[in-house]
């Protein structure tokens, strides 16, 4: 290979001629063992994806998620409905809280490994928590009990632990101390699981 002389040191510099550079290289060859492993890996991945998509699980999960979200929206809308009496709204709030805890119990290690299920459950728990749990004054104790019984669910449940939203009418020293103790317990549970 010939390389032209283009000196940048001195404009008046003259080269004796083009530089001679000899390149030594090996021709590219395919490593059969690596190629076979790559091909097998791609085939396995493709089969896994097609099996997952082809399974009824995928379509059933889509239907279940749509149905579950519509139930949650209906509960939220009924809770805000001004024509419903207080007893009916109390019953709706109780149903929303029960659904929150039912979905939180489903959030196990198996569900965490399946991203679509994990996403569905965490979104539904988040919606229910914001609509029903945080607004209910006595739910702080229930959240705390669930956190103690299932510490693995603490990242999911701890954002909804809000004893400060409890009844403001009774701000006795005992109640304040109880809230401080509950927060300390939550901090211990969360710090041991994260």
Residues 6+ apart with CB under 8 A from 105: 150, 153
Q: What is the pLDDT along the chain (194 residues), one digit of tens a residue?
A: 667 776 666 667 777 777 778 888 888 899 999 999 999 999 999 888 777 666 566 677 778 888 999 999 999 999 899 999 999 999 999 999 999 999 988 887 777 777 778 888 899 999 999 998 887 767 888 888 887 888 778 788 888 877 765 555 455 667 777 778 877 877 877 777 66
Classify burial at 44, counting beta carbons within 10 Å of its beta carbon; exposed 0-12, middle 13-18, buried 19 or more. exposed
The count of C-alpha atoms lying within 13 angstroms of the C-alpha of 190, restricted to the half-sphere facing its C-beta, is 16
How far, in Å, CA of 190 to CA of 147, rounded? 8
Q: Which conformational region is residue 65 in: left (phi greater than 0), alpha (psi within -120 to 50 degrees), or beta?
A: alpha
Q: Kind and range of the H or E element at 77?
A: helix 56-80
Helices 86-106 and 56-80 pack at an angle, to 10 degrees, of: 150
How far, in Å, CA of 174 to CA of 180, rounded? 10
The length of the chain is 194
Closest CA to 118 of 106, 129, 130: 106
Q: From the CB of residue 75, how many other CB atoms can be counted at a distance below 10 Å?
A: 19
pTM (predicted TM-score)? 0.62
Q: What angle do CA 96, 97, 101 make, to 5 degrees?
A: 115
Closest CA to 139 of 87, 187, 104: 104
Closest CA to 91 of 74, 77, 78, 104: 78
How far, in Å, CA of 35 to CA of 27, rounded? 17
């Amino acid at each position: 290979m010939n390389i032209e002389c283009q000196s940048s040191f001195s404009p008046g510099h003259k080269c004796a001629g083009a530089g001679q550079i000899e390149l030594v290289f090996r021709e590219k060859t395919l490593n059969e063992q690596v190629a076979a492993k790559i091909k097998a890996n791609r085939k396995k991945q493709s089969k896994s994806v097609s099996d997952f998509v082809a399974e009824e699980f995928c379509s059933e999960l889509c239907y279940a998620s749509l149905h579950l979200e519509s139930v949650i929206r209906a509960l939220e809308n009924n809770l805000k409905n001004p024509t419903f009496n207080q007893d009916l709204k109390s019953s709706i709030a109780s149903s929303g809280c029960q659904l929150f805890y039912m979905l939180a119990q489903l959030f196990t290690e198996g569900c965490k490994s399946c991203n679509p299920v994990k996403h569905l459950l965490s979104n539904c728990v988040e919606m229910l928590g914001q609509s029903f749990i945080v607004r209910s004054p006595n739910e702080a104790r229930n959240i705390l009990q669930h956190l103690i019984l299932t510490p693995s669910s603490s990242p999911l449940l701890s954002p909804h632990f809000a004893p400060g939203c409890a009844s403001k009418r009774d701000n006795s020293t005992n109640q304040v101390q109880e809230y401080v103790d509950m927060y300390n317990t939550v901090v211990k549970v969360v710090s041991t699981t994260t």
